[in-house]
Amino acid sequence: MFKVIQWSAGSASLSLLSFKVYASHKKEKREKCSVRVDELSLYSIPTFESKYVEEPRSALEEGISQLRKYAVPYTYWFQVAYDKTKPTIDAAIQQGTASCEVFQNPPPGFLPRLGVIGFSGILGFFFAKGSKLKRLVYPFGFMGITASVYYPQEAFEFAQVNGEKLYDWGLRVFIILEDVWKTYFQTDADREKVNPKSQANIPPYSSGPCKRI
């Protein structure tokens, strides 16, 4: 009985031991070789030189380029002019939209008053005789007077807002017309009446024989 227990204990202890088993009876020495990462074919980067070559422009591309160079100042000028006139254009569009709404749904008595104002403009055109300036001023003057009779509050507000601008504009037009009249339409007799002193300083012409001194 003691021998059986001793044998089983010995076999159990042998199972806990570890052994190294080699395929050959002699241990082969592995040669150590170190290879860098860039030497591997997987990580190799081909070395090449690149050079940028610009393609030659065609005649069409050259013409478009020149056109763009010439158009840049005009584009800037147009942008500035558009920025300045945009508020005025927007206000005119809003005013036109409001006028269309008024014509579509006119208040009572609006159309007869509009007819009277238009007839006063035609009447002013017939009264304007003699010069083209009268034909331009009289119809608008008659229409403005008639409109101010029917709409005094609106006429007062319009005159209060735009009175100074209209006065300045009229003064400039008058100065321009005066300069044009003096340059192109004034006769020699009118010029002599304007400048009599310049004619008085001219010595009289003598038709007699010249005397030698």
Q: Provide, for the chain, the percentages of residues in helix, strand and coil under a 3-state DSSP scheme, each rounded to the nearest 5.
A: 70, 0, 30
Is the pLDDT score of 157 beyond 50? Answer: yes
Is the pLDDT score of 14 beyond 50? Answer: no
Q: Distance between CA atoms of 71 and 78, rounded to whole angstroms?
A: 10
Mean predicted confidence (pLDDT) in 199-207: 48
Is the pLDDT score of 213 beyond 60? Answer: no
Provide the pLDDT confidence category of residue 70 given band limits of 50, 70 and 90: confident
Question: Is 125 within 8 Å of 135 (Cβ atoms)?
Answer: yes
User: b/e string for 10-44 if b means 16 or more Cβ within 10 A?
Assistant: eeeeeeeeeeeeeeeeeeeeeeeeeeeeeeeeeee
Q: How many other C-beta atoms are found inside a 10 Å radius of the C-beta of residue 124? A: 21
